[in-house]
């Protein structure tokens, strides 16, 4: 196998870049001076006898495989109409969905450039590397080899069965990182300078990989955007699988599900999970403790300081994460109408005493019930564990908050809004769906530049986490450093005590003085959003 770029004389485009991989050569495209390779398989198609099984290497090929277009995307249901207006999620048909893409400014083994590997979000049920917002050209333009990854989603990637290993989708991510270790030198990258970054479900996945002994040494730095290390209680995942099995009238086993038509399986998955929401909970797919790849709750392992101490972290959130979950479906207005009852339901969801919502009301005197509920649940699920993670990795963690409000009415500084700024793609139509027209390019320059600096040097440009809790705020007034902007709310949770584990979060249920179960059921209407 040839090392580095080679030229294929029989190519219709002889100037296109060709690079050898351990499984065969691939031909990409030169785009604006950058070499781009799309749809490179890092594992075999996960169907037929390989369905619901750990990934295996792809079959080697002879000749040169074309890598000019995005490869197939994993099976997934479409977004509801309300969210499809805001979030792009293209579908590329085909079985060979365990693939990745590479943007590089300098293919060849001599460059040894820093590498950034992107793991997309989508509640572990949606998303792909083909979303235009995730175009890697800006990273490659700035001297980074950029890699984006597809992995199995929903029941295919995170279903739990008695006759199949758990977490196949997370195992896909691990296989992609192993491909990067073994292959990225040929694309100009340095396998010893890998930064893995992801948002929401992608960040949650990275949290699990940070604590996994099997992932040790595969990356040097990690970025967790709007997602904290967590695991889902196993019975919560089993409930989704059982609901699907009942709808399909088959046993809740991998063998039975593998025999079901792929389209029917996706329809059953969409129906079984349609009422799940970060605000009100409900059964959902998630990473589970499996005793091997995920030996224990990753938050516990990381908070104790026994894992990933040599990995530098960049972690953060948006100011109004909850507005993407609540505003598009009208749940924001329903929560405001429910008033104190909604706050009682949130208290039950978060298993906290009355002093916590009372403290939020005092801290935010102008906020309505929906925003109070949203911030309460966001802190419980996200900011408290991320503060805990930063405390455990003090001096190796940098923390940010994205505070620029969308130009789309009602969204504010919502979940996923920062993505176009991180990727410097605020001008693409798919980013404008969420940000609206006229997003400030200067803010994209600042945020994208910080991510590149972190990948190159480990320092994004502001002080590391310490006892004063420095947070870089990216907002409409320009980036600025704020000390302890969330400390008042964190103190209400007794921050400094252990953060709630994944099992404790999943076990949250209304107490005797909480909102009636009928209220929680009313909030779980069709259209309520899962974690993006």
Query: DSSP for 283-308?
Result: --------SSSS-S-HHHHHHTT-S-
Band of pLDDT at residue 512, cut at 50, 70 and 90: very low
Catalytic residue selected from 120, 387, 415, 448? 415
- Domain span at residue 372 reads 5-73+108-523
Decide if 304 is catalytic.
no
Decide if 406 is catalytic.
no
Position 276 pLDDT exceeds 90 = no
Q: What is the pLDDT of residues 317-374, one digit of tens each?
A: 999 999 999 999 888 999 999 988 988 888 888 989 999 999 999 999 999 999 999 9
Catalytic residue selected from 321, 401, 418, 489? 321
- Cα–Cα distance measured from residue 39 to residue 97, given in angstroms and rounded to the nearest whole number: 8
User: In terms of Cα–Cα distance, which of 75, 469, 502, 19 is closest to 302?
Assistant: 502
Position 76 pLDDT exceeds 60 = yes
Name 316's bridge partners.
Answer: 225, 400
User: In terms of Cα–Cα distance, which of 456, 453, 460 is closest to 399?
Assistant: 460
Q: What is the pLDDT of residues 193-222, one digit of tens each?
A: 999 999 999 999 999 999 999 999 999 999
Position 225 pLDDT exceeds 70 = yes
Q: What is the pLDDT of residues 7-49, one digit of tens each?
A: 333 344 668 999 999 999 999 999 999 999 999 999 999 999 9
Domain assignment present for 180: yes
- Cα–Cα distance measured from residue 102 to residue 180, given in angstroms and rounded to the nearest whole number: 10
Mean pLDDT lowest for which of 47-61, 374-388, 510-524? 510-524
Find out whether 64 and 27 touch, Cβ atoms under 8 Å.
yes
- Cα–Cα distance measured from residue 484 to residue 163, given in angstroms and rounded to the nearest whole number: 48
Position 265 pLDDT exceeds 70 = yes
Mean residue pLDDT across the chain: 90
Mean pLDDT of 306-324: 94
Domain assignment present for 250: yes
Domain assignment present for 397: yes
Q: Which two tokens stand for residue 102?
A: 């590479």
Query: What stretches of 179-310 adopt beta strand conformation (E)?
Result: 189-199, 221-225
64 Cβ contact list (under 8 Å, min separation 6):
8, 11, 18, 24, 25, 26, 27
The number of helix segments (H) and strand segments (E) in the chain equals 21, 15
Domain assignment present for 216: yes
User: In terms of Cα–Cα distance, which of 105, 258, 124, 305 is closest to 187?
Assistant: 105
Domain assignment present for 62: yes
Band of pLDDT at residue 278, cut at 50, 70 and 90: low
Position 480 pLDDT exceeds 70 = yes
Position 506 pLDDT exceeds 60 = no
Q: Which two tokens stand for residue 177?
A: 């990182």
Domain assignment present for 103: no
Domain assignment present for 116: yes
Count of the separate structural domains present in the chain: 1
- Cα–Cα distance measured from residue 505 to residue 122, given in angstroms and rounded to the nearest whole number: 20
Domain assignment present for 99: no
Decide if 415 is catalytic.
yes
CATH number, residue 387: 3.40.50.1820
Q: What per-residue confidence (pLDDT) applies to 14? A: 66
Q: What is the pLDDT of residues 236-263, one digit of tens each?
A: 999 999 999 999 999 999 999 999 999 9
Band of pLDDT at residue 494, cut at 50, 70 and 90: confident
Position 114 pLDDT exceeds 50 = yes
Q: What is the pLDDT of residues 138-153, one digit of tens each?
A: 999 999 999 999 999 9
Catalytic residue selected from 129, 138, 148, 200? 200
Find out whether 373 and 338 touch, Cβ atoms under 8 Å.
no
More confident residue, 377 or 5: 377
Where is mean pLDDT largest: 115-124, 280-289, 347-356, 473-482?
115-124
- Cα–Cα distance measured from residue 320 to residue 401, given in angstroms and rounded to the nearest whole number: 10
pTM of the model: 0.91
Q: What CA–CA distances, in Å, run from 12 to 2, 4, 19, 159?
A: 20, 20, 16, 43
Mean pLDDT of 50-55: 97
Band of pLDDT at residue 5, cut at 50, 70 and 90: very low
User: In terms of Cα–Cα distance, which of 79, 82, 350, 120 is closest to 226?
Assistant: 120
Q: What is the pLDDT of residues 167-191, one digit of tens each?
A: 999 999 999 999 999 999 999 999 9
């Amino acid at each position: 196998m040839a090392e580095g770029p080679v030229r294929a004389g029989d190519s219709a485009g002889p100037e296109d870049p060709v690079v050898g991989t351990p499984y065969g050569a691939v031909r990409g495209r030169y785009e604006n001076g950058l070499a781009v390779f799309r749809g490179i398989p890092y594992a075999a198609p996960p169907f037929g006898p390989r369905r619901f099984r750990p990934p295996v290497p792809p079959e080697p090929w002879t000749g040169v495989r074309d890598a000019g277009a995005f490869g197939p995307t994993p099976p997934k249901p479409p977004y509801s109409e309300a969210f499809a207006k805001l979030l792009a999620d293209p579908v590329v048909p085909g079985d060979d969905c365990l693939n990745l893409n590479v943007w590089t400014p300098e293919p060849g083994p001599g460059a040894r450039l820093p590498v950034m590997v992107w793991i997309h979000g989508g509640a572990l049920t949606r998303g792909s590397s083909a979303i235009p917002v995730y175009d890697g050209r800006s990273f490659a333009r700035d001297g980074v080899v950029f890699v984006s990854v597809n992995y199995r989603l929903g029941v295919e990637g995170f279903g739990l069965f008695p006759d199949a290993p758990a977490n196949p989708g997370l195992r896909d991510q691990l296989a992609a990182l192993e491909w990067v270790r073994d292959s990225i030198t040929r694309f100009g990258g340095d396998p010893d300078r890998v930064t893995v970054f992801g948002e929401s479900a992608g960040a949650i996945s990275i949290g699990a990989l940070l604590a996994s002994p099997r992932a040790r040494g595969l990356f040097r730095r990690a970025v967790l955007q709007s997602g904290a290390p967590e695991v889902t209680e196993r019975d919560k995942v089993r409930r989704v699988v059982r609901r699907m099995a009942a709808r399909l009238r088959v046993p809740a086993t991998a063998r039975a599900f593998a025999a079901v038509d792929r389209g029917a399986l996706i329809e059953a998955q969409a129906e079984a999970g349609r009422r799940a929401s970060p605000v009100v909970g409900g059964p959902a797919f998630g990473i589970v403790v499996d005793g091997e790849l995920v030996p224990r709750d990753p938050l516990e392992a990381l908070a104790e300081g026994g894992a990933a101490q040599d990995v530098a972290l960049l972690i953060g959130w948006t100011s109004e994460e909850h507005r993407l979950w609540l505003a598009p479906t009208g749940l924001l207005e329903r929560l405001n109408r429910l008033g104190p009852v909604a706050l009682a339901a949130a208290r039950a969801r978060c298993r906290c005493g009355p002093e916590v919502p009372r403290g939020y009301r005092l801290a935010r005197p102008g906020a309505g019930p929906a925003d109070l509920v949203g911030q309460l649940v966001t802190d419980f699920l996200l900011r408290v564990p991320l503060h805990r993670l930063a405390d455990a990795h003090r001096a190796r963690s940098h923390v940010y908050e994205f505070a620029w409000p969308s130009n789309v009415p009602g969204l504010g500084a919502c979940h996923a809004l920062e993505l176009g700024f991180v990727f410097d793609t605020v001008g693409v139509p798919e980013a404008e769906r969420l940000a609206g027209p006229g997003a400030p390019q200067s803010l994209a320059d600042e945020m994208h530049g910080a991510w590149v600096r972190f990948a190159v040097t480990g320092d994004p440009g502001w002080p590391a986490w310490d006892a004063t809790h420095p947070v870089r705020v990216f907002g409409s007034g320009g980036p600025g450093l704020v000390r302890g902007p969330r400390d008042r709310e964190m103190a209400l949770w007794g921050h400094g005590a252990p953060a709630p584990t994944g099992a404790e979060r999943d076990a949250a249920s209304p107490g005797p003085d909480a909102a009636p179960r009928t209220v929680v059921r009313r909030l779980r209407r069709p259209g309520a959003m899962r974690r993006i």
